[in-house]
Amino acid sequence: MSTDQGHAFEAVIVAGGFGTRLLPLTTRRPKHLLEVAGVPFLEHQLARLAEAGATHVVLATSYHAELFEPVLGDGSRWGLRISYVLEDEPLGTGGAIRNVAGALAEDPEAPVVVLNGDVLSGHDLRAQLADFARPREGRPVDVSLHLVEVEDARAFGCVPTDPAGRVTDFVEKSDDPVTNQINAGCYVFRRSVIDTIPAGRVVSVERETFPGLVAAGHVVVGFVETAYWRDVGTPAALVAASAELVRGDGASPATPPVEGTGTAARWVSPDAQVAAGAVVEDGATVGAGARVEDGAVISGSVVMPGAVVGAGAMVRGSVVGPRARVAPGAVLEAVTVGDGAEVAAETLLEPGARVDCPA
């Protein structure tokens, strides 16, 4: 917990999306609560916000909204306070931010940190806040956007900047990206700017608010920092992020203590059973109540709570959902198995395959 009031701030996490790209894992729960490196994803963000000095975090939820509070509680575990604000109908990213304004303190000049609820980032949030606090040509900053470079920018918001770091445009998801510099999903808003977002209707911060602020000459700045960064919105990215955290290739204050290092690193819940003749390696995790039988190999994968991986099965780069069963001898490479789904014995699944939950 931060005791330094100079750095105390409020934050919003937008966590109401459907997580469509993670189906079937998101049929019964929001992506924000899927286990990554042994803990529900949002715990990584909450721990990081607390470390940077957040005192109050507002969760903007919609899809499966009722599932958040039982898992995350009142925030006291991280020395902060969590408020939950529910949208009956999803209001989009901008609408979600506007909808929580009433839960924030009223100081119009205060910085408010906003996170996309599916991003893992090692960038220096305090440095972004300090940069936000620096006026540009005598004017206070309205919004600061954390920006990173990626090889393929098509799935992201492209954000060109001028030599002084001012954002010159914001183009969400285009087939022909104008730059590889993208929106990394961590914003600092001046509190009063949030009130300018229209209330009570669907607003996309990416397609409406940011382009509008830039076009109207508001002070929107980029904070470019290339640290560890990942959007965990697809099965491949979720598995990669989890393994990276366990192997220590990415850092999060919420990652539990792991066994081994490098390709031998793994995290096994104290409540899981792993047979002596099974191998769990390369950043793989095995959640509470899960069972891995003799001769099975789990490599760089996420085995969620209550799942069973049968004898001699091979699971690489895959997610085995809660209470799913992978029968003996099955081979899974880059496969996503939904809640309670079953993979028959000796099955060989194609990379990218998804096994649905039973009806």
Q: Which of residues 185-244 bind ligand GDD (CB under 6 A)?
A: 185, 206, 231, 233
Whole-number minimum distance, CB 193 to ligand GDD, in Å?
17
* Residue 206 in contact with Mg ion, rule: CB under 5 A: no
| CB hemisphere CA count around 24 (13 angstroms) | 19
Whole-number minimum distance, CB 318 to ligand GDD, in Å?
21
* Residue 10 in contact with Mg ion, rule: CB under 5 A: no
Strands of 77-137 (E only): list them: 81-86, 111-116, 119-121
Residues 6 or more apart in contact with residue 29 via CB below 8 angstroms:
64, 67
- Pair 33, 68: CB distance under 8 Å: yes
- Pair 235, 26: CB distance under 8 Å: no
Q: Which of 10, 35, 43, 118 binds ligand GDD (CB under 6 A)?
A: 118
How close are the terminal C-alpha atoms of the chain, in Å? 44
183 binds, among ligand GDD, Mg ion, none (CB under 5 to 8 A by kind): ligand GDD
Residues 83-112 as x/- pattern, contact with ligand GDD by CB under 6 A: ----x--xxxx--x----------------
* Amino acid identity at 226: T
43 binds, among Mg ion, ligand GDD, none (CB under 5 to 8 A by kind): none
92 binds, among ligand GDD, Mg ion, none (CB under 5 to 8 A by kind): ligand GDD
* Residue 182 in contact with ligand GDD, rule: CB under 6 A: yes
Residues 6 or more apart in contact with residue 86 via CB below 8 angstroms:
61, 62, 65
Nearest Cα neighbor of 25 from 338, 353, 322 is 338
* Positions that interact with ligand GDD (CB under 6 A): 14-17, 60-62, 87, 90-93, 96, 116-119, 156-157, 172, 182-185, 206, 231, 233
* Positions that interact with Mg ion (CB under 5 A): 118, 231, 233
